[in-house]
Structure 1
Amino acid sequence: MLSLGGAIGSGLFLGSGQAIAAAGPAVLISYLLAGLTLYVVMYGVGKMVTHQTKHETGMSGVVSPYVGAHWAHFTDWVYWATWMAVLIAEEAGVSTFLGMLIPGVPLWIFALIVAVLGTAINLWSVKIFAETEYWLAFLKVAVIIVLIAVGIFLLFVNDNHLGFIAPSVQKTSTASMAPSFAPHGISGILTSLLVVIFSFGGSELAAVTVAETQDPDKAIPKAIRGVLVRIISFYVIPIFLFLQLLPWKDVSNPNGPSPFATIFTRIGIPYADKIILVVVIIAIFSAVNSAIYATSRSLYSRMSGSQSRVGKSLSKLSKNQVPVRSILVSSAVLFIGVILSAVLGDGFWHFIAASISFTITIVWIMLLIGALILYFKNSGVASWFLKLATLVVLVVLSIIFVTQIVTNPWTLSIFALVICLASYFSYRKK
């Protein structure tokens, strides 16, 4: 549920429209490719966790036995930067939707509520955080399941009296990538992958909990196997239904009504737009909650064992074994996000989402490298098919990363480069 909470946020409710606009109905290919990539990455994470005798906090704790302390340090800081950007992006999203639900209230008040509530939940205890995140994730998953059930029903029994049409995918050859299916060609599919990878980012969050999970050798791989199918299903199936029931150009409008609200409204559910708005707010706040957890644990992991005054302060635990000061530092970025979103406006969310795609791609590449080292150093851990599949996915992700650098604004590439250089050269031997 923690992985679902991290992965099902504004990427689905805000990002799906942008992805469809870039690729048209062919966005389904982007989601399937990203889903297959995610499966190989997360399978490798599960293998790395089960082949460790000692489990340490943070993403570095997963990869350090395989890539070494320096590159583990690099991975942890890039991952921390990723989730700091997620915090800002999700906060901007939840404040915007709260403003739509309760107009006339300044957005900074909503942002303050989000910051205080998310920080308080994380400061209390790990148990309280986990319980809260479970129910937040449960609510939004329940709505998605209802949407899938309603969508399938309409797909098979719809007589079009509710105004549903299915013009998105005409009977043309998809092999030739006809304009009706892929109006922007291969380049559109690659562009949409940026948003899709951002949407799936957060699935690897289960690995960060390894040091605070009872019997992680069994719990983590089980959670990974279960969450993969659910995440792929909760993205691919709703997008497919949207494209079948509504004109894809209507679905692709990020500033238009939510496709969820449109479908529920047309079948006669009163106040469907308000209900969906509340669900979206819960979904995005859940992602904020998860982001605070991820950033604080990554920061705590990097500061543990440090002899500096700052390091000792940030690695101090409360009586409930919570890294209080790391949580406060990480959640402080929420207030910076309020200022940035006010200054940069609507384009701010898209910039942050694209930057997250850069950094999460790097983290996935590092996880794949760690998994490959494990596979080749320990015979019997993986079959040759798994080794080959992991190698292919690593090459594909590397190509996607290069494509991101070439096709995106130079400011975005420089932003990602600064994060990477700072993460790499800040390493010091203990």
Structure 2
Amino acid sequence: MSQSGSKLQRSLKSRHILMMALGGAIGAGIFKGSSSSIDLAGPGVVFPYLVGGLILLVVMRSLALMAVKNDKATTLKDLIEPILGPFAGYVVGWIYWLDWVLVMAAETAAASSFLQFWFPGVPLWTLALIVSIVMTLLNLLQVRIYGETEYWLAAVKIVTLILFVVFGIILIITRFSGHTVAHNLVGHGGLFPHGLAGLVSAMLVVMFSFGGIEMVGMTLGETDGPAKVIPKAARSVIFRILLFYILPIAIILCLVPWNGLGTAQSPFVTVFQQIGIPYVGGVMNFVLLTAVLSAVNSGMYATSRMLYTQALDGQAPGGFAKLSRWHVPVRALMFSTIFLYVGVIVAVFAKGNTFGDLMVIPGYTVMIVWMLLVLARIKQEGIRPTTIVSLLALLAIFIGVIITTPAAGTIVSFIAIAIIVISFLFVKRGQLEA
């Protein structure tokens, strides 16, 4: 119960939740980031995507099962805290909030660069400010508006992938590419041109690409019938994501030699250019714009709801639990967007790797959230082979991230997490004194 005496409204429908989960994981990671994973692993990149999908299947099933058993949960924090304790809940709440604050800033800066494609004379900071204000206003309205916005933003990405798959299959059948599929797949160093090291490196990129799939856990307090909707979304979304990742990438690799793609542009652009689609630059720019706007939209939702939940539990100032007449945690939202504007300024004007170091934090935090979800399921249901294997795989990937990430970014991330951990001691002391 918030301080205003009202509650969050259960206005999000099953179709909203499904598209939010899909939209959270199908974004720039597939349209742009896939070029990096292909460059690292070659044609064998489909295996890291498959393994990553199987790991996240366990994560999502863990989330769904806990949601069924905890019908009073509002966010991810509420699923983890009753099982792993208040310390785990506190840490998850704040690192996930920090995660999306930084993602919001990065994606808003990216949105301004995509908009500059059509408005080259407008400064980046102006475009970023416009995006920030518009997305904030949308999130101040009823949660149903957020759900509908996310639904259609995700629909653009999904329709694009479906059309790509259809055109790609036609090209493969007609051998439009000028080479046989077998030549494109194995004629340039084989399926695994960079060996095991390439597959491991690609695995790290793949897992980052899947970040955002856990967003369905943030909608528990505003979903109509979460005990039925969330498990359904968790079951279906993982298979659809595998379909929308593995199939398009497999088609790309069948049509174009992997070493001819490069990392400068989206591999989808390369194939669309071969198809002969006019204005392919503008088309993909629009798709990428919808992807980053979807991330900004999700970020505003996630940060405001998480801060709202923290306030209800006495782990953030109580004023953040205040709801508007549209049942939106308006103070939590406005506080979170303050950091968005600061982040955009840093992203647009910072020199060197200042912002790049900060953006390492989301990679670490989302991995921690996934591991805690699996760990909570193990504590709740006991040891099972699939959950243990998934937890060990996530730990191995986490260690791989530490090894491969530039030291500056890792140090910044660990300092941020350490501050959150230490702050729990002061919050706990304050609660005891009260």
Pick one of 12, 21, 26 that aligns with 1:3: 21
**Do the aligned partners of residues 65 and 32 (structure 1) sit closer, same or farther apart at CA in structure 2, a change above 3 Å counting?**
same
Quick check: 1:137–1:286 contact (8 Å CA) kept in 2? yes
Quick check: 1:91–1:337 contact (8 Å CA) kept in 2? no
Cα distance in structure 2, aligned partners of 1:199 and 1:350:
17
Deviation at residue 263 of structure 1 after TM alignment: 2.4
1:46-70 CA-to-partner distances (Å, cap 9, x unmatched) read 1111112x42322211111211111
Counterparts of residues 291-370 of structure 1 (less than 5 Å): 291-306=299-314, 311-344=317-350, 351=357, 354-370=360-376
Cross-structure match for 2:134? 117
**Do the aligned partners of residues 22 and 45 (structure 1) sit closer, same or farther apart at CA in structure 2, a change above 3 Å counting?**
same
1:239-287 CA-to-partner distances (Å, cap 9, x unmatched) read 111112122233331x23x322332333232222212211111121111
In the alignment, residue 391 of structure 2 is paired with which amino acid?
Answer: L
Cα distance in structure 2, aligned partners of 1:259 and 1:340:
29
Cross-structure match for 1:194? 204
In the alignment, residue 259 of structure 2 is paired with which amino acid?
Answer: K
Cα distance in structure 2, aligned partners of 1:43 and 1:411:
35
Cross-structure match for 2:268? 260
Cα distance in structure 2, aligned partners of 1:358 and 1:300:
23
In the alignment, residue 363 of structure 1 is paired with which amino acid?
Answer: V
Cα distance in structure 2, aligned partners of 1:422 and 1:44:
28
**Do the aligned partners of residues 30 and 347 (structure 1) sit closer, same or farther apart at CA in structure 2, a change above 3 Å counting?**
farther
Deviation at residue 29 of structure 1 after TM alignment: 1.9
Pick one of 45, 51, 76 that aligns with 1:33: 51
Pick one of 87, 98, 101 that aligns with 1:81: 98
Q: Say if 2:176 is the partner of 1:170.
A: no
Quick check: 1:166–1:245 contact (8 Å CA) kept in 2? no
Cross-structure match for 2:4? none
How does the TM-score come out when normalised to structure 2? 0.88
Deviation at residue 215 of structure 1 after TM alignment: 1.2
Cα distance in structure 1, aligned partners of 2:69 and 2:230:
12
Cα distance in structure 1, aligned partners of 2:243 and 2:299:
22
In the alignment, residue 166 of structure 2 is paired with which amino acid?
Answer: A
Pick one of 113, 122, 128 that aligns with 1:96: 113
Q: Say if 2:409 is the partner of 1:412.
A: yes
1:5-50 CA-to-partner distances (Å, cap 9, x unmatched) read 2212222223212222222223222211111111010011111111
Quick check: 1:27–1:192 contact (8 Å CA) kept in 2? yes
Q: Say if 2:392 is the partner of 1:395.
A: yes
Partner SS state of residue 323, structure 2: coil
Partner SS state of residue 169, structure 1: helix
Cα distance in structure 1, aligned partners of 2:352 and 2:262:
16
1:146-196 CA-to-partner distances (Å, cap 9, x unmatched) read 1111111211222436x8976442169xxxxxx433333222222222221
Cα distance in structure 2, aligned partners of 1:63 and 1:402:
23
Cα distance in structure 2, aligned partners of 1:159 and 1:204:
39
- 5+ residue gaps, structure 1: 173-178, 377-383
**Do the aligned partners of residues 182 and 20 (structure 1) sit closer, same or farther apart at CA in structure 2, a change above 3 Å counting?**
same
Partner SS state of residue 39, structure 1: helix
* Structure 1, 133-142 or 339-348: larger mean CA deviation: 339-348
Cα distance in structure 1, aligned partners of 2:165 and 2:358:
29
State the number of aligned residues: 409
Cα distance in structure 1, aligned partners of 2:116 and 2:221:
38
Quick check: 1:122–1:289 contact (8 Å CA) kept in 2? yes
Partner SS state of residue 100, structure 1: coil
Cα distance in structure 1, aligned partners of 2:304 and 2:38:
33
Quick check: 2:204–2:400 contact (8 Å CA) kept in 1? no
Cross-structure match for 1:215? 225
Cα distance in structure 1, aligned partners of 2:367 and 2:108:
22
Cα distance in structure 2, aligned partners of 1:167 and 1:313:
63
- 5+ residue gaps, structure 2: 1-18
Quick check: 2:75–2:309 contact (8 Å CA) kept in 1? yes
Counterparts of residues 13-28 of structure 1 (less than 5 Å): 13-28=31-46
Q: Say if 2:278 is the partner of 1:278.
A: no
Aligned-CA RMSD value: 2.3
1:183-224 CA-to-partner distances (Å, cap 9, x unmatched) read 332222222222211110111110111111111110110111
Quick check: 1:198–1:357 contact (8 Å CA) kept in 2? yes
Q: Percent identity?
A: 38
Cross-structure match for 2:252? 242
Cross-structure match for 2:15? none
Pick one of 416, 425, 428 that aligns with 2:422: 425
Cross-structure match for 2:150? 133
Cα distance in structure 2, aligned partners of 1:237 and 1:346:
37
Quick check: 2:61–2:234 contact (8 Å CA) kept in 1? yes
Q: Say if 2:241 is the partner of 1:231.
A: yes
**Do the aligned partners of residues 160 and 28 (structure 1) sit closer, same or farther apart at CA in structure 2, a change above 3 Å counting?**
closer
**Do the aligned partners of residues 166 and 300 (structure 1) sit closer, same or farther apart at CA in structure 2, a change above 3 Å counting?**
farther
Cα distance in structure 1, aligned partners of 2:348 and 2:359:
17
